[in-house]
Amino acid sequence: MPPSDRIPRSVLVLARARLELAHTFRIARSADDFRETIIVRVESGGLEGLGEAAPSPRYGQSAASAESALASLPALLFDDPERFDEALDAAAEILGAEKAALAAFDMVLHDLRGKRLGAPLHRILGLDASRAPVTSFTIGIDEPAVVEAKVREAEGFPVLKIKMGLENDREILDAVRRATARPIRVDANEGWTREEAVEKLHWLEGENVELVEQPLPAGDLEGMRTLAGCTSIPLFADESVRSADDIPALAGVFRGINVKLMKCGGVREALRLIRAAREHGMKIMLGCMIESSVGITAAAQISPLVDYADLDGNLLIRNDPAAGVTHEAGKLVLPPGPGLGVALREGAVLDALRAHARGPRPE
């Protein structure tokens, strides 16, 4: 019997959401007051599967490209729970470089699987929720007085991630240290030259810096190797790492990697990446884009596996369309519900999904 005769047909709907940032989010290469994200909802066998694609211009994606990539997926890929890996392989093939769209598809499948089994994703993966790490809270680049105020506002978080990579790095560090002695992680987002990086890492020594992320452009591994020999601060790859295939070249250059579901294509790929990095003795940070609680909660489900979390994209926005993972004094608290354990809040995104569900099904 063909699958369509024995398996209930799935219905896929998408809604584009405008996530309003609480503060202008400035990093070395960009500044944004809002980011667009795509929320995906699939009804399959009486269950709801949720996912999110937060596209990144850094990786050649936009809300429009993620949306059309997702709409191009045949809905029958969601229909058969027995064909989990096969469906993910097929989607990866169709979506190509649209990794955020692949992440959304992967989240939906994991959510539906958990709901069919009646268990949260972390339990299906054999992970202990009590081992979820503390998340850092990110402070974007700004005028020193604003940075100081933002650091004071983030009092509830024991670790901060400080964005750098422009001319005022030293003033930013001074502003942070006027407000707190807490440990910090620095993210230069590829913003330094080799010479600048040597100088800046030198003055970051002794400033209670846990790690520095992506000091040099992604492709400059030779520069990175030299830099690693000049500092005792662990250097982590973010833009330099996108898939498990990148790991062998990065081992011995970076001490750790930043894994993001939107960058690698979801939970299954993130687990592969983590395994590959561990085999090379590397540390793991789980990071994010500016995302709603759908994407952040999916990442939080695998957070007991990692050394560091930077899962604060949902905390940097004013209008989170969903609710899931929470935190206590910065420590991630995984929701007890099945699957991703995330639900959409009443509001514009849920209204749009309901309206689309009544309309024609995307082809």
Say how far apart CA 102 and CA 95 lie, in whole Å: 6
Number of chain positions touching Mg ion (CB under 5 A): 3
Distance CA 71, CA 217 (A): 33
Interface with Mg ion, residue 187, by CB under 5 A: yes
Rounded least distance, CB 191 to Mg ion, Å: 11
Cβ nearer to Mg ion, comparing 66 with 289: 289
CB of 214 to Mg ion, least distance (A): 6
Which tokens sit at 345? 């809040």
CB of 188 to Mg ion, least distance (A): 8
Give the C-alpha separation, 37 to 21, whole Å.
Answer: 12
Which residue, among 32, 47, 268, 214, has the nearest Cα to 140 in the 3D structure?
A: 32
Instruction: Pull the structure tokens for residue 42.
Output: 């699939």
For Mg ion, the closer of residues 215 and 341 by Cβ is: 215
Residue number with CB closer to Mg ion (14 or 154): 154
Q: Compute the least distance from the CB of residue 22 to Mg ion, in Å.
A: 19
Alpha carbon separation from 160 to 31, 33, 136, 208, 275 (Å, rounded):
19, 21, 5, 11, 26
Shortest distance in whole angstroms from residue 218 CB to Mg ion: 11
Q: In what helix (H) or strand (E) does residue 321 lie, and over which residues does it extend?
A: none
- What is the CB-side half-sphere exposure of residue 270 using CA atoms within 13 A? 31
Closest distance of CB 322 from Mg ion, Å: 23
Q: For residues 52 and 213, which CB has a smaller minimum distance to Mg ion in the complex?
A: 213
Does 312 participate in binding Mg ion (rule CB under 5 A)?
no
The residue range among 82-90, 187-195, 196-204, 335-343 that interacts with Mg ion, by the rule CB under 5 A, is 187-195
| Burial (Cβ within 10 Å: 0-12, 13-18, ≥19) of residue 23 | middle
DSSP-assigned states of every residue in 197-253: HHHHHHHHTTS-EEEEE--S-TT-HHHHHHHHTT-SSPEEESTT--SGGGHHHHBTT
Shorter beta-carbon distance to Mg ion: residue 187 or 269: 187
Closest to Mg ion by CB, 91 or 264: 264
Q: Which C-beta is closer to Mg ion: that of 187 or that of 291?
A: 187
Question: Mask of contacts with Mg ion, 228-267, x by CB under 5 A?
Answer: ----------x-----------------------------
Report which residue's Cβ sits closest to Mg ion.
Answer: 238
| Span from 143-151, 181-189, 204-212, 341-349 in contact with Mg ion (CB under 5 A) | 181-189
Q: What is the 8-class DSSP label of residue 181?
A: -
Closest approach of Mg ion to the CB of residue 142, in Å: 17
CB of 246 to Mg ion, least distance (A): 15
Q: How far is the CB of 76 from Mg ion (least distance, A)?
A: 37
Q: Which of 190, 213, 246, 320 binds Mg ion (CB under 5 A)?
A: 213
Q: How far apart are CA 254 and CA 248, in angstroms?
A: 11
| Minimum distance from residue 238 beta carbon to Mg ion (Å) | 4
How big is the CA angle at 40 (ends 34 and 41), to the nearest 5 degrees?
Answer: 135
* Burial bucket for residue 57 (CB in 10 Å: 0-12, 13-18, 19+): exposed
- Residues whose CB is less than 8 angstroms from the CB of residue 169 and which lie 6 or more positions away in sequence, other chains included: 200
User: Which of positions 119-148 make contact with Mg ion (CB under 5 A)?
Assistant: none
Stretch that binds Mg ion, among 136-144, 148-156, 206-214, 334-342 (CB under 5 A): 206-214
Listed ranges 22-30, 209-217, 325-333, 351-359: which one lies at the site for Mg ion (CB under 5 A): 209-217
Nearer to Mg ion, 44 or 136 (CB): 136
CA angle 322, 326, 330 (to 5 degrees): 140
Nearer to Mg ion, 7 or 286 (CB): 286
Pick between residue 67 and residue 187 the one whose CB is nearest to Mg ion: 187
Strand partners, 213: 187, 236
> Which residues here bind Mg ion, judged by CB under 5 A?
187, 213, 238
